[in-house]
Amino acid sequence: MALLTPLARLADFALPPRCPGCGQVTAEDHRFCVTCWSSLSFLGPPWCALCHLPFEYDRGAEALCGACMADPPAHDGVRAAVAYGNVARGVALKLKYGGRLGCAETMARAMARLMPGDVEMLVPVPLHRWRIWSRGYNQAALIARSLSRVQGTPVEVDLLRRVKATPVLRGLGAKGRVRAVAGAFALGPDARAKLRGRTIVLVDDVHTSGATAEACSRVLKRGGAAKVILLCWARVLDIEGAD
């Protein structure tokens, strides 16, 4: 690792910082160009008191969206840095499939502003071992580690495990997604002692239907977690239009 440091510095000198979205040269690493930055839709309050779905106007601190009134989620809210769109999608795909590991820090820096004040532990959404073997890494774990460096919050990569391989959820209906992730997650050794009474931030790259977050949250809460809040890079606000 020590030998890599001079090479990394040389690469930084030879290769100028570029926009994570389009690749245009920028002043600093992890900084978007004006065009890409302008196209990002940053999320935050006002939002649903339970799931944190953004509202167009402030309905009050305790206001709920229709979905939460009908069926409250197992988690304690989804906090996403940006709405899913062309630039957000591109950055996520560069990390997930393109091997652009630096995008994890780009995401983490944008997500840090939404970190709950009472968080005690970061837990990434796990990948099945077969997926890790084929990809080489878990993108959620990379983001969680970057968040840990930025915020100083401890991260537990192996506390939650994916014990069943699941199909791609895209294209499945709501019931199909729930069936696909049923029984897919389990706690690792000594997880209950670490979880008991704690506020957990579950880290992921993109939040789409919520099936994965629900399944993970139920397992973590059964293990003793007091609260589970999902923190992610991008949130799909139009499920039907997601690709």
pLDDT digits (tens, 9 = 90+) for 138-159: 999 999 999 999 889 999 999 9
- Give me the pLDDT at residue 26, please: 87
What distance in Å separates the CA atoms of residue 239 and residue 210, rounded to the nearest whole number? 10
Q: Please indicate, yes or no, whether residues 25 and 110 belong to a single structural domain of this protein.
A: no
pTM above 0.85, yes or no: yes
For residue 48, the enclosing domain spans 42-241
Structural tokens at position 146: 């970057």
- Give me the pLDDT at residue 135, please: 87
Q: Please indicate, yes or no, whether residues 2 and 50 belong to a single structural domain of this protein.
A: no
Closest by Cα among 195, 205, 204, 203 to 159: 195
Q: Please indicate, yes or no, whether residues 82 and 189 belong to a single structural domain of this protein.
A: yes
Q: Please indicate, yes or no, whether residues 66 and 24 belong to a single structural domain of this protein.
A: no
Q: Please indicate, yes or no, whether residues 74 and 148 belong to a single structural domain of this protein.
A: yes
Per-residue pLDDT for the chain (243 aa), expressed as one digit of tens each?
444 455 545 554 557 889 999 999 988 889 999 999 999 999 999 999 999 999 999 998 899 999 999 999 999 999 999 999 999 999 999 999 998 999 999 999 999 999 999 999 999 999 988 888 888 899 999 999 999 998 899 999 999 999 887 766 665 666 667 777 778 899 998 899 999 999 999 999 999 888 899 999 999 999 999 999 999 999 999 754 444
Domain total of the chain? 2
Q: Please indicate, yes or no, whether residues 177 and 155 belong to a single structural domain of this protein.
A: yes
- Give me the pLDDT at residue 220, please: 97
Q: Please indicate, yes or no, whether residues 135 and 17 belong to a single structural domain of this protein.
A: no
Q: Please indicate, yes or no, whether residues 189 and 78 belong to a single structural domain of this protein.
A: yes
| Cα dihedral sign, 177-179-181-187 | positive
Concatenate the DSSP letters of all residues of 83-130 into one string. E--HHHHHHHHHHHTT--TTHHHHHHHHHGGG--TT--EEEEPPPPHH
Q: Please indicate, yes or no, whether residues 144 and 202 belong to a single structural domain of this protein.
A: yes
